[in-house]
Amino acid sequence: MTLAISRLSRASDKDAPRVACNRLLAAMISGRATYDDFVDIKSHRFTPKLIKIFQGR
């Protein structure tokens, strides 16, 4: 999963977990990420909405 997140976030493999966590937390704080999005992450389903969040858009 780290490789997928590093490709989506355009971060190095080393920085990918930190970048993904920061972007997901920011989306959660702003209200863009919902509980259903967390369920999708847990199930390894990357929806278009989650892809945009991980890309920083």
Query: Is the CA virtual torsion 42, 43, 46, 50 positive or negative?
Result: negative
Q: How many residues does the chain have?
A: 57
Q: pTM of the predicted model, to two decimals?
A: 0.74
Q: Return the amino acid letter for 46.
A: F
pLDDT at 5: 64
Q: Phi and psi of 22, rounded to 5°? A: -60, -45
Asked if residues 13 and 42 have their Cβ atoms less than 8 Å apart, the reply is no
pLDDT tens figures, 24-39: 899 999 999 999 998 9
CA separation for the pair 45, 30 (Å, rounded): 22
pLDDT tens figures, 5-25: 666 677 777 777 888 889 889
